[in-house]
Every structure is written in structure tokens, then in C-alpha cells.
Chain A
Amino acid sequence: MSSDVRFTDFKSDKQPTWCPGCGDFGTMNGMMKGLAETGNDPDNTFVVAGIGCSGKIGTYMHSYALHGVHGRALPVGTGVKMARPDIEVMVAGGDGDGYSIGAGHFVHAVRRNVDMSYVVMDNRIYGLTKGQASPTSRSDFETSTTPEGPKQPPVNPLALALASGASFIAQSFASDALRHQEIIEEAIEHDGFGFVNVFSPCVTFNDVDTYDYFRDSLVDLQEEGHDPNDYEAAKEVILDSDKEYQGVMYQDDESVPYHEQHGVTEDMSEIPDGAPEDAMDLVREFY
């Protein structure tokens, strides 16, 4: 990896069309800085995103990128990384993308433990479709499609990840640039599926989960002396619904990523010695 990569090398010439003040600016900056700081080259980096405000990130970053189908960023990213363990893959998405339409994929991407990072810009609202409830919206959050609030508890994505056998679970806040970047770097460097839920406030449609709210309520696990390798301690903070935490909640230090579990080689065109090479080698079994 070249050491002279700067984070601006990951920046596209396209100016984001996010609303001024959107949390996604800070989230993306942390992603670019984290990628540069961990020694990644933009030519060797693949960013995959789904649909929604978060989905546009591939346009604003200058790496290889794919802006796909709503909710399906994880399976596309999984395919890229499985086929090419040498590529750094970062999947980005929103709370709707990851925990609603793509919730099924989230559970299985976590289990599969492919060595990539997954950054969810969680603003607890559907922004691009102009302000409907999301799976992480509060149960009394009134929106155009939920006039009296969803009347359902919000999804706890960290608990969902834990229950699915995650090897890395973290949460950050887009506005705390330094800590956010540090946490992203840890997710990138983790040997396995590095999941980070980022509080990324929507300044236009969400007047509850605001910058001020997070600034006032956020507890930093690092300052609390939390040990991410301690599963029981992780469970406790993840299930604690009274507080909002930032930091690495859980990291399995014995995590074995997919390509090591399955012995995936970097060049699939090389057939291992002794293996069948073509159909001729296989059809003779059927005599």
C-alpha cells in the first residue's frame, strides 16, 4: 500500500447534494480519512451503496464504486469481496436500506463475516422520500405516513448484529469527527465484518434526533473504560436502551474472516493441483 495517499485522493469532483448541515458530510469525511489512514489506495478500494441519501456516497467518493439497488448494497459488496479478497470493500447505507428493506441481508452478512466494513448512516428517518418513519424512528415519531407515530419499538441494530453472531460492533457520531474516524479505522482493520452504526442527523426532517440531542446524551465507551473483547459487557451496553453510546461495543479478537474459513485464493483462474480442470475430467464419472 502506498503511504502517500491522502484522504482528498478519495474525494470526487462532484459536490454532494445533501442538505447543508447533513450528518452524511461528517460520516463520509471520516470514511475517506479512515481509508487513507489505514493505507488504502483508491484504485484498490470499492465502495458500495444502496439507495437513499446515503446511496449517493459513491458519486462523491473517487474510488471504484457501485450505487446499486435499495437494500442490496451488502450482497453486492459481499460478492465483490468474496471474489477479490485483495480489494478493500466498504459498504455504506442508511437505516432504511440496512435495517428495513435490507434487514434480511444484514443478518446474514454479519454471520458470513466477510472481511469488509459496513457503515450505516442512521438518521432515524427516510430523508430522500421526504420524511417518513424509518425502522429506527421512535415509536411516537409522527410523520406523513405514520400520523400517530409508528407505534412499534425501533430496531436496535447493534443487538440485531450481536444476535446474528457479529465479530465487530461499533457506533459513532458524525459530528465527533475524530472519534468517528478512529472507530471507522478500527472497523476497516478488523479481520472480518466491521459494522459501524453512525448517528448522522437529518437536519430537514428529524427534529427529535438532532445534533444537540446526540451531543447531550452520547456516552463514550472509551472514557467509560469498556472492554470490547468482553462479550457480557458488550451485551450490557448494547441492550441498554436508556443511553446512547459511541465507541466499539464488541470485537471478537479470534474472528476468522470468510476467505480464511473457506481458503479462498486471490486468483481464481488458477486451478489447484489435482483438481478437475474441465468438463472432460468430470463427465467420465458418469459412465
Chain B
Amino acid sequence: MSDDELIWRIAGGSGDGIDSTSQNFAKALMRSGLNVFTHRHYPSRIRGGHTYVEIRAAAREVQSRGDGYNFLLALGDSFARNPQEEAYYGNEEIKPLSENLDELREGGIIVYDEGLVDDEDIEEVDLEERAEENDWHVFPMDLRGLAKEHGREVMRNTAGVGVTAALLDMDLEHIEDLMEDAMGGDILEANLEILHEAYDTVNEEYDFEHELRAPTGEHDAEQALLSGSNAIAYGAIDAGCRFIAGYPMTPWTDVFTILSQNFPDMGGISEQVEDEIAAAALAVGASHAGVKAMSGSSGGGFALMSEPLGLAEMTETPVVLIESMRAGPSTGMPTKPEQADLEHVLYTSQGDSQRVVFAPGNIEEAYEQTRLAFDIAWDYQIPTIVIYDQKLSGENQNVDVEFFDRDVSPDLGSTLTEEELKEAAHDASGKFKRFDYNEATDGVVSRSIPGQKGGRYLATGNEHSPVGHISEDPDNRVFQMERRLEKLEKIREELDEERDSTQTYFGDEDAEYGIITWGSSQGAVEEAIGRLNEQGHSVKGISVSDMMPFAETEVTEFLESVDEAMVVEMNATAQFRGLIQKELGRFGDKMTSLLKFNGNPFEPAEIVEGYEVNLADEDREPTAQVRIEPVAGD
């Protein structure tokens, strides 16, 4: 909980422009040389309802939303204020202020739009009393009135940013530049006027008693502010993917949108189809025809993809599917993160799973593992899934632009040319032996692409003979099944021996206490481990990405090296710990779980506390809404 960081929370109603305002403010902080991390909290509705965005900014690296926050800009919910809509939205105009007070740190700043909040509402939330108790510095400002005076009422966000900059003693340069990038003409002029007016008003009318100031820092390389969704989309682009079919579903829609806006320009195709069955089936068809193709969804839509996923497994058609998790079961909590679809993606669809699953834990990993997913899928002719969640999807972080300076890889993997097809094995009737187990290398038989001379064959979801004909011959069945499963062993070997590890490690190598996590909980775990070690504990961590084939060797080595381990994940049934036990068949007595499934991601302090509770070995319960699951058998 360092003082050298700003965690700015802008709160209001959905549809009030909070996203774009916060995006630009985050960029301004980034341009000033700080590292930034943004966190979105929003309801599943288009307008109204309580929503906020947090921006954490510091000179050092920031890997999570942090613990609590120290600056609140409460804009007021304009839709709640509209009397005509009150019946529908309810009287919620106080909420951006009242709903956000619990997590505000001591000494924090509150700016609220007094133009949108009534005095009696303020009395009801005991603001004065609480401010005194917590040493909060409260600045009621008529943001709406200020905006109206110089432009239009909707520009009150700009006034809020001006007030923020003044209170934090920030230079306006970057904020102005970003406004000039985004708008022009009268609108730009009015906004600039409002910005300056707000800035000057604060400086002229208030004495600053608060200590919080914007931190200062410097970047040594060009930066870009990106989300995990951007990273996945760009990983697909650089992997040479040019075809996406999808159906909208939160939070997956972000990736689908980014690629829909880019593929057509690049000569590719994006098609919104009737449902997720069709989405995955179109991708299988396109891939089969020789184009790198993908689809994706969130849990509910991914459930519909089970059949085409199985078809891709059986026909050995490469395809990449993205699964962006949100809280379930069923519709669950559509705009809230959870890591509870792990078993779903590993095992959905009938028969033995023959797929690859990667779970990136941060933005860089999201890019790299999406590319890896395409490489593996096309080399081994196997469906590959990238699983992440609403948290990684929507959080923005600054990344070195140079990170993306890579070669693109449009290569189609294990395919034959027409020349090679002439030499390949055919049956007496001239059918290409596409599934000839005698010709396999690492379980893979190179494929032909429709349109090639001499490459004709039947691909079928039935078990099939070497030329692809339906076969229920027991020997053939065993040969084909073992050949397809051999690919997973070979992929594991390649990942262990030929590529950089996709697992990420933190902390003291010699530590005897370990924290294991996966996916987007990585950032909070990394930060918690750093904090614990600073406090004199000795803890190390591993964030696992290879779910199938499982990172067996690395996780075994990690667990062997510690006396105890805590598995941190956002679900209620400890799915990842279960996977470790299933894959490794031991260590059940070493692992406890720290679980959170209330719809909000872990904060580092909760993990620190989980460690303390675990280690203290007493009956103390951790913070409400975080659960400890004891070791197996307890």
C-alpha cells in the first residue's frame, strides 16, 4: 500500500462516457512516464447503473488493480437524474458517491459533482463524519454547471479531469494533446475551455491540505495502452490468421470487434453468424480449406461449440478457439470475471479430449500464447483453445511497443504441396491416405488442401480408415486413437525442450512456501509475493499457462521444492488444484486453496492475508468473500 501510487476511480452511470474519459486519462498518465493499470467495473445494462473505472499509476511496474484506491471522482448518474426515466432506473444519483466510499483509503480525495447530488442525500451517507474519521479531503464541485456554462452538460467529465489534474498538481499538456487527437472544432474548444476553467477554479479557490500528488516517472521506450483483448487479437493477426466467425457475447465480444475492424482491410473475413455452433463450424470449414481461422466465445457460447470442437479433433482440422470466461453457471454474472470454465474447456464434447489449452496470465502472455496456439494448431492439426477472462479482457496496461516487433507467421504448418502429394501414399482408387498411421511423424500426417491435384480425401467425424472412410475396425480404431493422442505427448516435449517456458515464476527460488496460480490472477499473486518477501517472509510463486498438455514437469518440480503451497484461483470448487492432483496424482496433502468467486478479482492484500491465515494454522477466517479450502482429506 505504497504512497507513491495514484489509484484514481471515476464513478458514474453506464453510458456517461466514463470509459473514454478514463482511457484518455490513463494515456495521459502513461505519456507522463508512469506505468498504468486499469480496472473496469460495470453492470450488464446499456445505460444507468453504477459503474466505475480505476486507474492505478506508479513509476514502478503495476501488475494489478492494487488494494482499494485513493482518489474518487464521483460524477453522478445522469440517467438516474432524468425524471422521465426515474421510474425505470430508480433514484440512484447518489450512488457514484455512496457506493464507492468503503474502499477509499485513509487520506484519500473525494471530488463529487454537487450539481447532480442533493443535500439530503449527502446527509444520508454521513459524508462529513466519515471524512473526518478517515482523513478524507472532500471537494464538492459543480461540474455539471461548469460544463454547461462553457459548452454542454455532457462535457462534465472534462471538468472532472481538470479538477483531478489540479488537485494532483499535474501538468495539462498530455491531457490537452489527447483531446486534440480525439476531437476538433467547437467541441475541442469548449472542452479545452472547461478543462482550464476547472483547473484554475481549484487552484484559486482551494487550499491543498492533502498529501496525494501524481507520481512522476519516465519510460525508456515507446508505450501503448492495451488490453488482453487487444493482445489476443494482435497475436492472431501476427500468426497469419485472416478468418473469424463469431457471435457477440460479453466479454468475448472485444476480441471479435477488434478483428472485425481489421480483417476486412487486411484482405481477410469476419462474419457474425447465427450462433456459436455456426461460428466454430465456419472456422473449421475455412481452416479445412486452407486459411488460418479462429472463433471464440464466453462460457455459454463455448458450450455450443462443443460439437464443432469435437469435429475438429476427429477430422484433425487446426483451429484456434478463444474462451473469455465470466462468472457462471448459466448466464451467471455477465460482466464479472471468474476462472470457473477450466474444466469446461478441457473436457467439453464427447469422447476423450484431444485438444490443447493455454491460459495466459497477462497481456504479453496473451499475445505470445495466442501465436503459440496457432503454431501448435497448424503444426499438429489439433484444435487449440486460449482461455482467459473478463478481467484480462478489459484491463488496460502499458506495454513497450517494441514487444510487438516480431515476424509474422502465415505458414500453414503440416501441409503438402502438389509436388509432395504426387509422392504421398494413395489407395488403389486414387484417394490420398490422409490418415495413414504408418506415415505419421509425431502422430501427424501431413494434409492436403482442397483444390490441390491428387489430394482428395474424406474428412469425417466418424472414426475412419487411412483414406478417411468410416471404419469400426478395432485395430484401426486403436491405431488412430493412439496416433491422435501421441500428438499431445509430442507437443508437451516441444514445449518443454524447444520453446521458452510459458509458465511464469516469482519470488525467492529457495523459498519453502509456494503460491500457485493461473490466468489473470497472476498479477495480484506476483504483487502479493513481492510484498510478503519485502516483509521478511520467504515465498515463491508459479503462474501456470499450459493446461493441456499439462505443464507436468515444471509444476512437479515446483511442488517438490516447497513444503506447502496455496493455490489461488477465482472459482468456488478449486478446479485448477483438482487438475494438478489429477495430472500429477500426488501433492494433495501440500496444497490448500484460496478462492474468490464474488465477481471481483483478487486484490494483493487478500492473498497476503490468505497466506497469513494459512500459515497461522488457526481457526481464523480470511476476509469475507475469500475462502480457504483445506488440503485434500482434511
Closest to B396 in A: A286
Contact between chains at B242 and A269 (CB < 8 Å): yes
Closest-CB distance, A81 to chain B (whole angstroms): 8
| Cα-based distance from A108 to B401 in the complex (angstroms) | 41
Confirm or deny: B237 has a beta carbon within 8 angstroms of a beta carbon on chain A: yes
User: Binary interface profile of B, 416-453, with partner A (CB < 8 Å = 1, else 0)?
Assistant: 00000000000011110000000000000000001111
B237, B273, B461: the one within 8 Å of A75 (CB): B273
Please give me the residue from chain A that is nearest to B282 by CB atom. A79
Is A275 located at the chain interface by the 8 A CB criterion?
Answer: yes
What separation, in Å, do the CA atoms of A268 and B265 have in the docked complex? Answer: 11
Which of B275, B367, B454, B456 counts the most chain A CB atoms within 10 A?
Answer: B456
Which B residues are CB-close (under 8 A) to A68? 281, 284, 311, 315, 460-461
Quick one: closest B residue to A14, CB to CB? B469
Residue of B nearest to A105 (CB): B278
Q: Which of A69, A271, A279 contacts B404 (CB 8 A)?
A: A279
Question: Are A80 and B450 CB-contacts (below 8 A) given A279-B367, A283-B401?
Answer: yes
Most buried by B among A68, A264, A269, A275: A68
Q: Which of A66, A74, A265, A282 contacts B288 (CB 8 A)?
A: A66
Contact of A83 among B243, B277, B311, B428 (CB under 8 A): B243
Contact B269 A262 (CB under 8 A): yes
Residues of A within 8 A of B225 (CB): 286-287
Stretch at the interface among A43-51, A144-152, A209-217: A43-51
Inter-subunit contact A80/B285 (CB<8 Å):
yes
> Which parts of A273-287 form the interface with B (CB within 8 Å)?
275-280, 282-287
Of chain B, the residue at the smallest CB distance from A258 is B271
B470 within 8 A of A: yes
Q: Which of B213-253 contact A (CB under 8 A)?
A: 222-226, 230, 234-235, 237-238, 240, 242-243, 245
A12 near B: Cβ within 8 Å?
yes
Query: Are B408 and A72 in contact, CB atoms less than 8 angstroms apart?
Result: no
Q: Number of B interface residues at 8 Å Cβ cutoff, please give it.
A: 75
Chain A residues within 8 Å of B408, by CB:
277-278
- Whether A75 and B285, one on each chain, are in contact in the complex, defined by CB atoms closer than 8 angstroms, is yes
Q: Is the CB of B451 within 8 A of A284?
A: no
B278 x A58 contact (CB < 8 A):
no
Taking the closest CB of chain A, its distance from the CB of B177, in whole angstroms, is 10
A86 part of interface (Cβ distance < 8 Å): yes
Cβ-defined contact, B222 with A287, below 8 A: yes
Instruction: Report how far A212 CA is from B9 CA in the complex, Å.
Output: 77
A-side contacts of B311, CB under 8 Å: 68-69, 72, 76
A69-B458 in contact (CB<8A)? no
A251: which B residues are within 8 A, CB to CB?
A: none
Considering the chains assembled together, what is the distance between the CA atoms of A83 and B459 in angstroms?
A: 18
**A268→B267 contact, CB < 8 A:** yes
Listed residue (A42, A48, A56, A287) with the most chain B CB atoms within 10 angstroms of its CB = A287
Interchain CB contact (< 8 A) of B429 among A62, A277, A282? A62
Measured CB to CB, the closest approach of chain A to B296, in angstroms, equals 15
Nearest chain-A residue to B274 (Cβ)?
Answer: A108
Asked if B264 is at the interface (CB within 8 A of a chain A CB), the reply is yes
A282–B307 CB distance below 8 A? no
Contact B281 A69 (CB under 8 A): yes
CB nearest to A48 among chain B residues: B285
Question: Measuring CB to CB, which residues of chain A are less than 8 angstroms from any residue of chain B?
Answer: 12-14, 42-44, 46, 48, 56, 58-59, 62-69, 72, 74-84, 86-87, 104-105, 107-108, 112, 262-265, 267-272, 275-280, 282-287
Q: What are 12 A-to-B residue pairs whose CB atoms are below 8 Å?
A: A14-B469, A48-B285, A75-B282, A79-B293, A83-B287, A86-B451, A87-B451, A271-B267, A277-B408, A278-B237, A282-B262, A287-B30
5 closest cross-chain pairs (CB), A and B: A79-B285, A75-B281, A279-B234, A79-B282, A83-B286
